[in-house]
Structure 1
């Protein structure tokens, strides 16, 4: 049995004590992190190794940044999403874990404001992800694509759909692109339930009012979905001292 999790830490330097505490309590076999906001050289490798994990880090100073932590041996297959050699933003890392599971950890662009190059980049990045995923969905090797997708899949995944109608996370083109990914045959481990939020803004009392959205997702190809035992959200992490605005999501696979 393997537990795989995703956690947008919103700065690993600011959130390291929270991350280490969560790793000890949840003890995932593999965890993908987003918004580490540091270079690979400044990543806290020693602290992560002391917690029992090796790390593959794709970083950049101040912004973005992803990492893959594993208690098991792994081989990195790519440190960038294919399709645009000129894209230098640190948003993707992929590895095969112990020969049993492929894990892609991603931080999809936010895309706001809509009338900017940021939204164009978001949709182009989603198209590249969909193209890459097409080559993985039918693989007999169980595969998981997890991370902060910055996509609210449907009205049931947001506290007030009308308030988010013109946001890049919830526009029709964004949701259509996400559905196109799912229609390849990927399983959204936390979808179809509603009111299972993974993000609450720091502003306007969003956490205390439970005004959240679901934007952190774990997608499984059929080979992995056949082995899905359980999936969940560590909601209580949002209420802890100096918490990230995201909470971890996780699933357990019979591997």
Structure 2
């Protein structure tokens, strides 16, 4: 009893063994789900097709004791079926024997070869799909790399154009300033030539319309007290109490 419990504990602690290679060919003939994965129940139908519980449809017989009748998803026949497990009858279980060539039964080997051929076609189809997806991924990578390089080139060109735009704006501003100075100097010369010195003197140096150079050349304005003091002086100034002989 103790040895049995120890064996059970060892079986629980040990990792789940990988499915045997001689069971990999057992699959659902419709969705190609594998029996070795043990995700669903599988049924062997009387029409020699294998189906999982997702794909097969079952209906009860005329009485509750009758075996259920299944609708085959491959040939669409209403046939009897048995679940694939160790409790199957020996004549049906032999169809899944790991070494069919040792049984000397042609129908067992034919059954397994037919299922293996069907599963190999499915794998080839999936491999072609995977190859096509790999090619599509490689092509997408090439296109993405091309677009990336184009974007990098456009970024560099954008930086160059931005720098060039700033230089052009600076040149335009300098040119406008030079033109403005030239027009001001030309206007000042024309005013001096056509109006004469008197008119130039008549120009108010504080006027904002007067040329800048003219305002700079005029002496600074004097205060009103100094102007009145200058107008009151009419003779020589003599200091008092200052006697001397000539």
Structure 1 length as normaliser, TM-score?
A: 0.20
- Structure with the larger RCO, 1 or 2 (CA within 8 Å, 6+ apart): 1
Larger fraction in helix: 2
Structure number with the higher strand fraction is 1
TM-score by length of 2: 0.21
